[in-house]
Amino acid sequence: MSSASLARNSRYRSVTSMVWVLLTAAILATAVLSQRSLSRLADSREAVTHSLHVDTALRDTMSQLLDAETGQRGFLLTGRAPYLQPYYTALTQMRQSRAALGSALSQDPSALAPLEVLDKAIAAKLQDLDHTVSLKSEGRSDEAVQLILADTGNQTMLAVREALQVLEADQVRRKNTQQAQDEREIKNNYLTLGASILINLLLLIGLVQRFRNATTQGDVAQQVMDERNVELSRLLAAAATRNEQVQLLSELSRFLQSCAGMDEAVGLLKQHLPPLMRAGDGALYLMAVEHNQLRRSFTWGDKVYVDFFEPGDCWAARLGQPFRQPVQSGSASCAHLQSEHWCAQDNVQCLPLRAHGELLGMLVLEAQVAPDPGENLEIEGSRRFALEQVGLSIGNLKLRESLRQASMRDALTGLYNRRFFDESSQREVKRAMRQQVKGSYAGLAVMMIDIDHFKRFNDQHGHEVGDQVLREVAQVLQGQTRGSDVAARYGGEEFTIVLADITPELALGRAQRVCQAVEKLALHAAGKDVGTVTISIGLAHFPVDGSTVEALLSAADKALYEAKNAGRNRVVVAT
């Protein structure tokens, strides 16, 4: 071989080696960029979770302060000591919520000044509440009433609301900033990944072309080049698949974080999960905690899967880790895969979906085994990582939904709580004012409801029976309301209902039916009848009895007082 040929071969090998090194470096860079993108998504989820905790602490602080004020007013109106129990309980819970808020914002210097303002406003409000309670306890009721009429309570409560609104506005600003930053990060990652893939393709094309030009170098050289070509094709295909998986997972996580509920999340999973799992057949089951069942959400492929099964029927759920089914059915197989419609196949797996130590669901897959063990390991790892990210997203979605429900609902009765009632009643009154101007609105009614002789149930049968009475009455109220109405627990044994777009006559008829429905309740404790439950109702109507929520509640409360004095178990319309 001439020196010129040797020189050409040397240059060829040098250039080929350089392209090989560049391609390997580009693939590694793509993997690093993918890892950075996933790390950024994890940081974003932590920021969302922290924001949810801060929002919960803010809502709890306001709700518990309102509960304390309700207990104080109940004590001032009746002079009965039991009304102080929710008052002191709310004070204790409020201090705990304030401590949780301070802990959540301890690393935020900009929150120190608003927190100090909030502390001063809460201290002023608590001092006002404590002063009126002390005056009432000492028998100085007139002074306590004068203190309330001085309107200092509303002023201090307004200061607390303003301080909380400042903190809430700061949280909203932070969330918006975080969301904008995440969107920029995702956009940059997509552009970078796209450029990396393009570079990989160009390098591979150049390398393949050089391999093709080397066919004249002999059989051995050709064999080496073919092997490298196959390896490079496999690496590029794996990199392209990995990049596609990362993009799909990134997009899915971003959508799941913005879902309004589980139904919307299931729709997204049905679209994105099958490509991520790379399996021809599969089914996703989600946990129904109230029934202790894993219920089928969706399937893909041709296989038939059971509608639901209990966690104990699946080895993956019992072991807390992925489980591969044996080919032959038996005691080592999952019971939910032994139905008459199921045919045992190789490589059937059950993959648990978990987050925060809780079983959220189960993914059942049937996939072909790749001939390359390394490829199999890569696919298995990709599936488990994707499920971890999906599990965290669903866990955060469920946490957000539970926090939203907890902020709106009373834990004992399931009705709306006082905080939600205050907000929704203000909206309804404003809407009534707008509709009244148009002349197309029948009016708005407010019921104030109190369970007659409620203390007797607690004293004679215990607090469990008292709680049962509250729940049963709440179910009646819920059943007697329309979708546009708002039924809420106002405090203690008091309830309230806002009836939208209703005439005074229809509102009176509705109130009388509520009274009759409660009177028909049959309650038993330890197999014994606990007696008849009755309620008294005060009814006020907008705009005859008031044009503000406060005026309507005051009118309905006075009517309720008249119903009590008139013998209870009746409806009295405000006059």
* Ranges of H-type helices in 409-453: 418-438
Active site residue 493: yes
11: number of Cβ within 10 Å? 10
DSSP-derived 3-state class of residue 316: helix
* Contact status, residue 490 vs residue 417, Cβ threshold 8 Å: no
Q: Provide the β-strand partners of residue 366.
A: 281, 348
Interior angle at CA 275, CA 273 and CA 280, nearest 5: 100
In angstroms, the CA 364 to CA 316 distance is 10
Residues 475 and 403: beta-carbon distance below 8 Å = no
List 493, 494, 550, 562, catalytic entry: 493
Q: Exposure of 327 by Cβ count < 10 A (0-12 exposed, 13-18 middle, 19+ buried)?
A: exposed
Tell me 82's DSSP state.
Answer: G
Query: Distance (Å, rounded) from C-alpha 367 to C-alpha 369?
Result: 6
Give Cβ neighbours of residue 290 (< 8 Å, ≥ 6 apart).
none
DSSP states along 366-432: E-PPPSSHHHHHHHHHHHHHHHHHHHHHHHHHHHHHHHHHHHHB-TTT-SB-HHHHHHHHHHHHHHH
Neighbouring residues of 174: CB distance < 8 A, sequence distance ≥ 6: 51
Separation CA 403–CA 415 (nearest Å): 15
| First-last CA distance in the chain | 117
d(CA 323, CA 302): 22
Report whether 443 contacts 541 (CB < 8 A).
yes
Show which residues are catalytic. 493
